[in-house]
Amino acid sequence: MKNPAYIVGAFEHPTRKAEDKSTAQLHAEVAFGALQDAGLSASDIDGYFCAGDAPGMGGLSMIDYMGLTKLRHYDTTESGGSSYVIHVGHAVEAILQGKCNIALITLAGRPRAEGMQTGTAVRSFGAGVPDEPFEIPYGRTIATMHAMVATRHMYEFGTTSEQLAWIKVAASHHAQHNPHAMLPKVVTVEDVLNSPMVADPLHRLDCCVISDGGGALIVARPEIAKSLKRPLVGVKGWGEAYKHQSAGAIDLTYSAARFSGAMAFEKAGVKPADIKYASIYDSFTISVLVQLEDLGFCEKGQGGRFVADGNLISGVGRLPFNTDGGGLCNNHPSNRGGMTKVIEAVRQARGEAHPKVQVPNADLVLANGKGGNLGTRHGCGTVILERE
């Protein structure tokens, strides 16, 4: 046993529109699915991790709803869509510190059933948020905030809309093999460029889907992982980092993945070139491009060239990414894509991805999550997983 903890259970909810289920039900269903995948039961769980999508005060209502009676440790670190990647690292640390043995992480939500305009409506986190009075009057949205990262990247590095489109094209090549994917049709660069402009320079097909659903993970200490029947997927490296507006010294061209990735690679003792498969947070095409640079898969500013010509397509390019179709084509449950990033990385490491997209001998894989506004206020979590 080479690693401090193992992901022994993973489950992605198959729904993409949950009109007949509550958010609490979805949390419970993904938890049950991950426990079944691991060969464990709810009474084995002694650590629970959730974020802002869990209904209630922190996770207290979900702990009660799911009947988690054996809890010794609980963590509600909220960092938007990156929370669940960060939770994996926190679970490993909690296991190392003896705070728990078997940790459950859940995510679920139903923005699609609720008719949410995730990216194109002005969203507030409520009264008292100090930065919002300086932003909400300007009608900023998730889409325009990400779009400005793309505008600046194009200005500084000559990145093109065609290059960004290749990211969607690659995701669509993978999604065609996923029976649950919301957008299973293969698209071309032209299809992306011809889709309506949402927020210059991002087109509709540069954006992720809005979907319901969720996912869950079980992280366990080595001796428990060994006693189960699933392939051994160890957490070899993990890191988290947070970026802000730097008091007005804004630089939109990089993300906190620059730091969370460096921490994870250092812990794992491996390099970007060693990674066989990467799950990259894909709220928009530009999100992927910036993270790929920051994680060290290419030089800063070279992301456009790196992603072009199918380099992210499994079986074609050098770095297969998001082989489930990702948020861009498959699923972005609760507007938070970090959970599904880890789940597909686990599938790849186990050799259980769809045969058409499975990377041969994917014994070292990475997942990166980003939550919040790309370029300014966000958190990133990186995990590097190893199959033993």
Binding stretches for other proteins (CB under 8 A): 120, 122, 127-128, 130-141, 143-145, 147-149, 151-152, 155, 196-202, 245, 247-250, 252
- Closest contact distance (angstroms) between CB of 382 and other proteins is 26
Amino acid found at 133: P
C-beta of 140 vs 276, nearer to other proteins: 140
Which is closer to other proteins, CB of 14 or CB of 158?
A: 158
What does residue 93 show for φ and ψ, rounded to 5 degrees?
Answer: -65, -40
Which of 133, 179 has the CB closer to other proteins? 133
What's the min distance (Å) between Cβ of 144 and other proteins?
A: 4
For other proteins, the closer CB: 62 or 241: 241
Within a 10 A sphere around the Cβ of 152, how many other Cβ atoms? 17
Q: How many CB atoms are closer than 10 A to CB 36?
A: 12
Cα gap 143→259, rounded to integer Å: 24
Residue 292: closest CA among 271, 314, 272, 267: 272
Contacts of 184 (CB under 8 A, 6+ apart): 175, 176, 178, 325, 329
Closest separation in Å from C-beta 199 to other proteins: 5
Q: Which is nearer to other proteins, 196 or 360 (CB)?
A: 196
Q: What length does the chain have?
A: 388
326 backbone dihedrals φ, ψ, rounded to 5°: 65, -170
Quote the least distance from Cβ 127 to other proteins, whole Å.
Answer: 7
Whichever of 61 and 151 has its CB closer to other proteins, that residue is: 151
Q: Least Å distance between CB 138 and other proteins? A: 5
**Alpha carbon separation from 185 to 121, 162, 330 (Å, rounded):** 27, 19, 11
What is the smallest separation between the CB atom of 247 and other proteins, expressed in angstroms?
4
Smallest gap from Cβ 117 to other proteins, in A, equals 11
What proportions of the chain, in percent to the nearest 5, are helix, strand and coil? 35, 20, 45
Calpha distance 376→126 (Å, rounded)? 19
Q: In terms of CB distance, is 69 or 117 closer to other proteins? A: 117
Nearer to other proteins, 112 or 153 (CB): 153
Q: How far is the CB of 203 from other proteins (least distance, A)?
A: 10
Q: Which is nearer to other proteins, 14 or 155 (CB)?
A: 155
Burial class (CB in 10 A: 0-12, 13-18, 19+), 310: middle
Residue of 373, 365, 377, 382 lying closest to 295 (CA atoms): 382
- What is the tally of helices (H) and strands (E) in the chain? 11, 11
Q: Whole-number minimum distance, CB 345 to other proteins, in Å? A: 31
Q: What are phi and psi of 366, to 5 degrees?
A: -130, 145
